[in-house]
Structures are given as structure tokens and as C-alpha cells.
Amino acid sequence: MKISCAVMVAAQAVAVCAGLTTDAVAQGRPSSAELQAVVAVEAARKAGEPELYALLKTMPKGGELHMHLSGAVYAETFIAEGAKLGLCVASVDAGSPAVPVGQGAVRFVKPSATGCATGQVPASDAFKRQPLYDDLVDSFSMRSFVPTQGINGHDQFFATFERFGSVQGVGGEWLDEVATRAAAQNEQYLEIMHTPPFIKAATLGYKLGWPEGAEHSVTHEQLAQLRDALLKGGLRQEVADDSRALDAMEQQRNEIERCKETAGSERSAGCDVSTRYLYQVLRGFAPQQVFAQTLLGFETASADPRFVGINFVMPEDGYLSMRDYHLQMQMLEYLHSVYPKVHIALHAGEVAPGLVPPDGLTFHIREAVELAHAERIGHGVDVLYEKDSAGLLKDMAEKHVAVEINLTSNDVILGIKGSDHPLAAYRKAHVPFTLSTDDEGVSRIDLTHEYVRAVEEQGLGYLDLKQSARSALEFSFLPGESLWRAKGQYTQRINTCAAAITAKSEPAESCRKFLQENKKAAEEWELEQRLANFEDKLTASRL
Ligand SMILES: [Zn+2]
């Protein structure tokens, strides 16, 4: 819905009005610098996608709250690592006697003691045989994908993870890749989903089993007993393993990026991107494994502040994910009561009509919010198919439950795009939203691409994008207080830091002290400064 142009200053032409929406303007009357940015984005939109991309690449984006580490890595990186690790390439077709170079899907496999098996080739061959290299890139991503009988975008997307899954290292290079890409797009914070080691917890879970009669519904008492048994069985020992694994990953990233070196050296811009982690739990397994891994996630997040929360992953439409959805929300309800400080974000509503039966579309987001205490919803695509969807949207807005919007992912996995996407409904209901990539490597996109898509496909203007950028920090699980007086309302900052933030201003002493003690507010202050700088530059370029 467009606002009346009467609120604009006369000098701003029609183009300004075209780029503004009531929701964005509800965040406060736009400044003249903001209006210049609105005009610039609208002009770039009309000029074409590359122009819009070039402009939005430099726009400060705050950060990203929905990205999976392995899915964020590009195929080219996996190929280089696979060659370095001495992996082999095999056909994904078990019946195929040899790697079908130039004509089929392939995957990495570990070599045997004697090397690559008959019909397989070394990954390093890809550097000498372009068709093999092309097959690997296509097999590890959505590039060149065309649906065929029995294989749709959903299948290809999730199949990629198994194909590059043999590339296992410390992960520092992956962190470097995502942080470097984020820095190049004016992002300052990443909340990365990652699965740390959990084999001991899972083994213990299977040893103890699942309470009898609790196949469809489980009580807090039953879960408390199971938790006691898991802790007695030594589950906490793996917490230290998980922290050590993250230490190694971060250390490797810091070395690659030369983060210890001072300015003017070869220190990478990626060093300045703050990262925190969401403990990723695999939901498509038996309840005893899911509960054990989730408990390990809560324990790890309680012990290691770098893990700021947990999330559940794997296809939500999978058999076990669907069968046990309610049960898994009950697990989270119980664990939230034991560990109330651990934040929860959940993939919920990443399903679409036809993918699952109609009943499967009616309750996932609501249970994630009401039972599992999710503070953020990932995807939320089926929201309008949920029971009392209007009531659910109202609840989300009132409780400040944000939705992480992944436009490209929803298109390639679910076939949902344009007016079929519920972003407009969320915005109309004032549910906070933030744009994210989900799996930028698999989709071969970046966050700027999603900003562009939001403008072109969803009709967002500069002020809406600015809201998304601010929400990426406001609804992050960073510790500390917010810079803003009311959650998600970017009109008034707290009194201590109420002074205007310009491209060159320094915080007053009391504000500086507050920012030192509150990481979230500090990142938000930094974003305001970057935004002021961006808008100033646009204004200067138009004068
Ligand atoms: Zn996701």
C-alpha cells in the first residue's frame, strides 16, 4: 500500500512515492537523506537488475539471522577442499559403473586404502577435465538444475548436502568464506547455524531409548527422567568437545584472515564481521536421538556464549519431521522450562500445499511459537494455511516473534514466489521480518541478491530494506540491551544514546559506556552510523 504523497516534501517527485509503503513510513517520518535513498533505489530498480544490485551491495545490511554454514559454502570451495583431501568422485546412480562425466550427478566419496574404486576418479581430476568440474558444481548446487520426472527442486536442494558431505575439515575456511562475503556486502553480524559433534549424545540416546507410550505425546516428567539419565550417562562430556571444535574453527578463520594483525597490514575485512552460532539439531531422526542432541544443544549454549541459541533443521516435510513435529515441540517446551535463557529459533512452516497433506499445513508455526517458545520463525511460508492464521499473525506481532524471509530458497525448494509468498501478509500484520539467504552456496546467491529480489518481486522500497537490516540486529540473539526504546520500533533510541548518529559522530561518554556493556546495542549503533554514511553518499552523488 502506498502512502499519500502529501506527506512528502514538494521537491520529492513521484519516484519517491513509488518507493514508499505505509509500513516503512510507520517507522517514522523519513528524513531528506532517506528520501534521497528511496529515490536512488527506485531509479536503480527501473534501470535494471545489475544497477539495483550494484547499489544495494553497498547498502548496510546489519547482518543475517538464517544461514547454514555448510549450505553457505560455494561448490568451488568444496571441489578445492575435496581435491586437497584426496577424495574421489562417484556417480550418484548406484547402478552406474563409472562417473558419467558431462552427463550426470556426482558426489564425493572417501577413498579406500588403495585409492579410488573402479569407476571413480580422483577429485583433483576436475582441474584437468572441465566437464567433470561442471558436473561437480551442478551436483553441489542449484546451478543448471531442471526438474525431471521424480526429481524436483526440493529433492535436488537437499541432495546436495549428502554429495559434498565427505568434505570434512576444521571449517575455518568456510567461516572465512562467509565472513569475507558478508564484509563485501556491508554486513557486520552473522548468526550461523552449525551442527557440532553429537555422536556420543546420540549413542547414549539410543542406549536409553524413548519412554514407552510416549510415541505421540510426552510429558515433562518423562522428559525430566530422560534428561537425568542422559546427564548421568555423561552427556555433558561432549559439551567440551563442541566448544573445542568451535575453538579450532575460529582459530583457523582468524589465521586465514590474519585477524591478529593491525590495520594497514593484510588483515582481512572479514575479521570485522562478528559471528555467533545457533546449535543445529537434526530433526529427521528417532525421538531419542533428537532429544539427546537437543539437550546437548541446550547444555552447550548454556556453557559457551558463542552458541546463542538452537534451531532444528532437515526437511520439515520429511516423514519423521512430520510424524514427530508435535513431539519435538513438546521437547522444546520442556527444555525451555529448564534452560529459559537459551534462545530458540525454528524452521517452521517451510512446507507448501501439495508437498504435505492439508492437515500438515495447519499448526507448525503456531506450535513453534506457543509450545516451543520460538523467538524467531524461519521461512513461515505456510502461515496463511494455519488454523486462525489472522490470530497467529496478530500473536506473532504482539509477541515480537520475527520471521526470517528466504525468498530464493522458498522458490527453489517449495516453488513459492511472487504473490504466493506470504511476506506481504507478514508485513501487513506488522510481524517483524528480516531477509536472509538460507543456503547461499547451494542457491548460488548472496544477501544482496535477496535484497534485490525483495525489491523486484515483493515491491519493497529502501525504507523497508532498512527495516530488514535493523531487524537483523534487533532480533538477533546477541547479548545485551537494544539501542531502541521499543522492540522493533526504529523511531526512538534509548535516552542514553538519543543523540543524533551521523556518519562521523562519536557516542557521548555515557552512551559509549552503555555500548561497551551491550553488544547488541553496539552493533546497532554501528549500523546507524553505516546507514548515515550510505545515505549521505547517495545524497552527495545526486547533488
Ligand atoms: Zn534454513
Distance 313 CA to ligand 1 centre (A): 7
Distance 409 CA to ligand 1 centre (A): 8
Tell me, what's the pLDDT at 169?
Answer: 80
pLDDT tens, 62-74?
999 999 999 999 9
pTM score, whole prediction: 0.94
CA distance 153 to 142: 8
CA distance 426 to 380: 9
Q: Which helix (H) or strand (E) holds 450?
A: helix 447-458
Tell me, what's the pLDDT at 323?
Answer: 98
C-alpha cell at 325: 513435529
**Residue corresponding to grid cell 583431501:** 85
Distance 413 CA to ligand 1 centre (A): 11
pLDDT tens, 388-441?
999 999 999 999 999 999 999 999 999 999 999 999 999 999 999 999 999 999
Q: Is the Cα torsion angle 92, 96, 97, 99 positive or negative in sign?
A: negative
Phi, psi angles (nearest 5°) of residue 122: -65, 145
Name beta bridge partners: 63.
Answer: 189
Distance 47 CA to ligand 1 centre (A): 32
Q: Which helix (H) or strand (E) holds 328?
A: helix 325-338
Tell me, what's the pLDDT at 5?
Answer: 40
Distance 66 CA to ligand 1 centre (A): 6
Tell me, what's the pLDDT at 542?
Answer: 73
Distance 327 CA to ligand 1 centre (A): 20
DSSP codes joined into one string, 432-447: -EEE--B-HHHHT--H
pLDDT tens, 100-111?
766 679 999 999
Instruction: Give mean pLDDT, residues 471-498.
Output: 97
Under 8 Å between Cβ of 372 and 471: no
Instruction: Give mean pLDDT, residues 364-368.
Output: 98
pLDDT tens, 447-477?
999 999 999 999 999 999 999 999 999 999 9
SS (H, E, C) 136-183: HHHHCCCCCCCCECCECHHHHHHHHHHHCCCCCCCCHHHHHHHHHHHH
**Over the chain, what is the mean pLDDT?**
93
Query: Where exactly are the structural domains of the chain?
Result: 72-163, 172-474, 492-532
Tell me, what's the pLDDT at 20?
Answer: 56
**Taking CA 347 as the corner, what is the angle to CA 342 and CA 353, rounded to the nearest 5 degrees?**
155
Distance 404 CA to ligand 1 centre (A): 9
Min mean pLDDT across 94-98, 358-362, 391-395 is at: 94-98
Distance 314 CA to ligand 1 centre (A): 8
Contacts 24+ apart (CB under 8 A), 80-83: 81/167, 81/169, 81/173, 82/108, 82/123, 82/164, 82/166, 82/167, 83/122, 83/123, 83/124, 83/126, 83/127
Give the pairing of strands 88-91 and 376-379: unpaired
Instruction: Give mean pLDDT, residues 177-206.
Output: 98
Name beta bridge partners: 90.
Answer: 107
Tell me, what's the pLDDT at 2?
Answer: 40
pLDDT over 70 percentage in the chain: 94
CA distance 165 to 382: 30
SS (H, E, C) 214-255: CCCCCCHHHHHHHHHHHHHCCCCHHHHHHHHHHHHHHHHHHH
Tell me, what's the pLDDT at 265?
Answer: 74
Tell me, what's the pLDDT at 541?
Answer: 86
pLDDT tens, 9-45?
333 444 445 445 545 555 668 999 999 999 999 999 9
Distance 194 CA to ligand 1 centre (A): 11
pLDDT tens, 238-261?
999 999 999 999 999 999 999 988
Distance 396 CA to ligand 1 centre (A): 19
Question: Which of these, 106, 59, 115, lies nearest to 78 by C-alpha position?
Answer: 106
Instruction: Give mean pLDDT, residues 492-512.
Output: 96
Q: Is the pLDDT of residue 230 over 90?
A: yes
Tell me, what's the pLDDT at 23?
Answer: 52
Distance 119 CA to ligand 1 centre (A): 35
Under 8 Å between Cβ of 407 and 417: yes
Structure-model confidence comparison of residues 393 and 151, the more confident one? 393
Tell me, what's the pLDDT at 138?
Answer: 96
Distance 526 CA to ligand 1 centre (A): 27
Neighbours of ion ligand 1 (CB under 5 A): 438
Distance 15 CA to ligand 1 centre (A): 35
pLDDT tens, 281-324?
999 999 999 999 999 999 999 999 999 999 999 999 999 999 99
CA distance 331 to 224: 10
Distance 301 CA to ligand 1 centre (A): 19
CA distance 139 to 126: 13
Distance 442 CA to ligand 1 centre (A): 12
CA distance 514 to 528: 16
CATH number attached to the domain at 172-474: 3.20.20.140
CA distance 241 to 198: 9
